[in-house]
């Protein structure tokens, strides 16, 4: 699709106005007044996008500051062992933790501890980053 209204002269005027930080609405009004053709704000914005003109409104990126990595917290007491052995899916009760912990003989095993919601408190912290 050819667009006869975007002549070289009109495109040059568009570039000049855009680099002078004129708004697209104002550019459309000026081009419409000067050429006698209808230019819309959206049409001007589309042409600017197709020309890949850089926005004069945006500030250049600031140099990013390098932040040193956080020190890892000291290791706490060893992880507590679960009170009971892992439980197969079909043996889980309504208030059992459904955190998968192992797989034996093709059968998925779950934590099975007393749950608050879907998981026991320890697995809820892992699941929801608390």
Tell me the residue range of the domain where 43 lies. 8-51
**Residue for token pair 């000049």:** 16
53-68: pLDDT as tens digits: 877 666 666 677 777 6
Among 76-85, 87-96, 114-123, name the one with the lowest average pLDDT: 76-85
Angle at 44 between CA 43 and CA 46, to 5 degrees: 65
Q: Does 29 map to a domain?
A: yes
Q: Does 12 map to a domain?
A: yes
C-alpha distances in Å from residue 113, one per residue of 12, 103, 129: 72, 17, 19
18-34: pLDDT as tens digits: 988 889 999 999 999 99
- When divided into structural domains, the chain yields a total of 2
pTM (global) more than 0.85 = no
34-49: pLDDT as tens digits: 999 999 999 999 999 9
Radius of gyration of the chain (CA): 32
């Amino acid at each position: 699709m050819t667009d006869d209204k975007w002549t070289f002269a009109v495109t040059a005027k568009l570039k000049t106005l855009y680099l002078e930080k004129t708004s697209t609405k104002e550019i459309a009004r000026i081009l419409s007044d000067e050429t006698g053709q209808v230019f819309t704000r959206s049409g001007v914005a589309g042409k600017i996008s197709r020309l890949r003109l850089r926005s004069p409104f945006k500030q250049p990126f600031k140099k990013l500051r390098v932040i040193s990595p956080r020190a890892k917290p000291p290791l706490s007491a060893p992880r507590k062992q679960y009170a009971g052995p892992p439980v197969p899916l079909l043996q889980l009760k309504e208030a059992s933790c459904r955190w998968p912990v192992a797989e034996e003989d093709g059968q998925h095993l779950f934590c099975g501890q007393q749950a608050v919601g879907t998981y026991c408190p320890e697995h809820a912290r892992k699941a929801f980053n608390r």
